[in-house]
Structure 1
Amino acid sequence: MTPDTPMPRLTERLNERTRQALEKHYAEEAAVDERLAKLEQVGPAALDRLVEVANRDTGQSRHCRRILLAVYNADDWPLELNRLRCIDRDLQSAALTAIEWATYSGRELHEHLDDGDRLMHRFWLIEKGGED
């Protein structure tokens, strides 16, 4: 193969494309890591806000409980997106943050709460009509 053949140019182009693809991949991974770090910072406050409202007896409490139960056990408590329309914007933001955090966290969301499993069971009973 002589320097006049197209192979060296092809190899250079392939190397450049590989370099660009790797740079793009690393940038995307860095963005994901940054997003996860942000979720770890804001997730606990969002979860606490939802639990605070879910523990009350207001018009929004039931919707917050149902959102939390959907994250806890989606098979028995499917997420009904219309519930997001029934709560204030700050609660909507908290709910979406908690859902995203639950998606990427290495732990179940209720594990971030003191006695979270018992709390979710209590919400479960309230929503099934077993506790007021």
Structure 2
Amino acid sequence: MTPDSRMPKVSQRLNERSRLALERHTAEEAAVEQRLSTLDQSGPTALERLAEVAQGYSGQSHHCRRILLAIYNGPEWPLELTRLRCLDRDLQRAALTVIEWSAYAGHELHESLDDGETWMRRFWHAESDKGGES
């Protein structure tokens, strides 16, 4: 077989690989778009659920506040993953949804709440008053 006779086969294989790579990339992009759409639908409900519980005085309220504050201002309120273990399954799912949504949202999540800035300030003060209590 001469080099000239191999070239069409090499080109054909390269074209096929490129086509397959493009199809994979397109499928991955479609999956990401679908996930983002799902987060845009479920995120606000999950955020409202966490904020509702965060207004209370229970241990779960404390952990919800700290998770929301971590999303609001991570450098001041680092996310301690063990907080997720302190939540019931429903709140864990809500927290994970909100955390994932926050990574992709094109806005600050507290802006999705009515008067969200006031909520975050209230949570900030409540947790600051605890004097670093876990």
Q: TM-score, normalised by structure 2?
A: 0.93
- Provide the C-alpha distance between the structure 1 equivalents of 2:115 and 2:52, rounded to a whole number of angstroms: 14
1:3: how far off?
9.2
Q: The residue matched to 1:5 in structure 2 has which SS?
A: helix
1:95: how far off?
0.1
The residue aligned with 1:111 is: 111
The residue aligned with 1:41 is: 41
The farther-off stretch of 90-99 and 106-115 is 106-115
1:74: how far off?
0.3
Q: TM-score, normalised by structure 1?
A: 0.94
The residue aligned with 1:21 is: 21
Q: How does 1:1-132 map to 2 (within 5 A)?
A: 5-129=5-129
* Residue identity in the other structure for 1:62: H
- Provide the C-alpha distance between the structure 1 equivalents of 2:124 and 2:27, rounded to a whole number of angstroms: 42
1:58: how far off?
1.3
1:23: how far off?
0.1
1:5: how far off?
1.7
- Provide the C-alpha distance between the structure 2 equivalents of 1:50 and 1:21, rounded to a whole number of angstroms: 41
1:108: how far off?
0.8
Where structure 2 has 5 or more consecutive residues not aligned to the other structure, the ranges are: none
Q: The residue matched to 2:59 in structure 1 has which SS?
A: coil
The farther-off stretch of 18-27 and 103-112 is 103-112
- Provide the C-alpha distance between the structure 1 equivalents of 2:72 and 2:58, rounded to a whole number of angstroms: 21
Once the two structures are superposed, residues 52-73 of structure 1 have per-residue CA deviations (whole angstroms, 9 ceiling, x without a partner) of 0000111210000000000000
1:114: how far off?
1.0
Where structure 1 has 5 or more consecutive residues not aligned to the other structure, the ranges are: none
Once the two structures are superposed, residues 6-52 of structure 1 have per-residue CA deviations (whole angstroms, 9 ceiling, x without a partner) of 11110000000000000000000000000000001110110000000
Q: Name the % identity.
A: 64
* Residue identity in the other structure for 1:56: G
Aligned residues: 129
Runs of 4+ in 1 over 2 A off after TM superposition: none
- Provide the C-alpha distance between the structure 2 equivalents of 1:65 and 1:59, rounded to a whole number of angstroms: 10
